[in-house]
Amino acid sequence: MKRHHIAAMLMLQSIGSGAFAQSSITIYGSVDNGITYVNNVGGKSVVKMQDGINKSNALGFTGTEDLGGGLHSIFKLENGFSLNSGALGQGLMFGKQAYVGLGKSGVGDVYLGRQYDYTLQLERYMQPFLNCGIMVFENGDLDRASGERLNNAVQFNSANFGGFTFGAMYAFGQNAGTSSTNIGRAYSGNVQYGYGPFSAALVVTDINKVAVLAGATGAPTLLGQRLTPSTVLLVDNQRILGAAGMYTFGSWRASAIYTNTRLQLNGNSATDQVVHVGGDYRPQPDVDLAAKVSYDKLDGSHWYSVAASADYLLSKQTDIYLELVGQKAGGASGTVASIAVMGPSSTDSQFVSRVGLRHFF
């Protein structure tokens, strides 16, 4: 009997190894934590421990299987979480991404599930100054450049054709609920081009019935509504246009990003325009120095921001960093500074400094 058991086990192992010989699964993630100082949040200074500020915390599983004939299957399950509390990010088990798809070599991939819209592609052009953290994004992330998801989404990403790639996605609004940023239908698309040290992109995203963090902008009013720091508006439509370019020369990189976001609610409309210009310099492989300036105009209000960071690699996977961000508000009476995720100041200025530790795996 033992011989039969051993033979059966060996046969099962050989079948299993053959079935999965063309498959691969990767576990990956990142953790970030640090101490943040804000000189003014609602009229007082704050020192606090914050995680996921330089790089959002994540634990993910991704895999692919070769199906033969140039076909392959793909899946991704990615979870967000808090290091300091252990809480789930986005309030979901796989709140960051959850999709499955099929691809064809030389053509492209189709994904189905919960996915980022294409305004996230602008983030890759922020890489030269992204070490300044999430604070480099628009105050209330009205242009969604920091990365927002759509439920019930179908997405196609093309193969590379002479440096050009493109993508399109559509998200169905049914059963989206509060866990999604699209209660109504949504569509998004992008075109990108890369040649040598130069790359550029155009993106568009259009969503019906979407919640926006209006109170985080620092504006006194928006779409006819008086705002408080916690105000969230469910707008009828959000349309985003974005353009970006990046150039690398030796140890230097420079990039520029422009976004134009139109919001509509009950017959009222508002437009937010943001320009980022920045870059980084690597004096040696384990040191990265970055800086950027930005201008944000939302109807009668505007904000100027300056950010700088220094990043030191302890290894290929672990680094320590220092971030400094300042902002000055102006325009409409009552407009205050409001650096992203920090909360509005009680005045027209705000300053943030942060020191942290980051690890990738």
pLDDT of residue 158: 98
Q: Is residue 79 classed exposed, middle or buried when 0-12, 13-18 and 19+ CB atoms within 10 A define those classes?
A: buried
Share of the chain above pLDDT 90, in %: 88
Tokens of 208: 């019906």
Element (H, E) at 252: strand 252-265
Mean pLDDT of 71-100: 94
Tokens of 332: 């409409």
Pairing verdict, β 23-41 and 58-68:
antiparallel
pLDDT of residue 195: 96
Angle, vertex CA 352, rays to CA 343 and CA 221, nearest 5: 30
pLDDT of residue 315: 97
Give the closest residue to 351 by CA, choosing from 329, 319, 333, 320. 329
Angle, vertex CA 153, rays to CA 149 and CA 156, nearest 5: 105
Confidence of residue 16 (pLDDT cuts 50, 70, 90): very low
Q: Reduce the DSSP state of residue 4 to 3 states and report it.
A: helix
pLDDT digits (tens, 9 = 90+) for 279-310: 999 999 999 999 999 999 999 999 999 999 99
pLDDT of residue 179: 56
Confidence of residue 92 (pLDDT cuts 50, 70, 90): confident
pLDDT of residue 176: 55
Look up residue 12 and give its DSSP letter: H
pLDDT digits (tens, 9 = 90+) for 115-144: 999 999 999 999 999 999 999 999 999 999
pLDDT of residue 175: 62
CB neighbour burial string for 176-214, b if at least 16 within 10 angstroms, e if fewer: beeebbbbebbbbbbbbeeeeeebbbbbbbbbbbbebbb
Mean pLDDT of 25-35: 97
The structural domains of the chain, ordered by start, are: 29-360 (2.40.160.10)
Helix%, strand%, coil% for the chain, nearest 5: 15, 60, 30
Q: Phi and psi (nearest 5°) for 162? A: 60, 35
Number of CB atoms found within 10 A of residue 148's CB? 19
253 against 13, higher pLDDT = 253
Mean pLDDT of 236-264: 97
Q: In the predicted model, what is the mean pLDDT of the chain? A: 92
Give the closest residue to 245 by CA, choosing from 306, 203, 184, 287. 203
19 against 259, higher pLDDT = 259
State pTM to two decimals.
Answer: 0.90
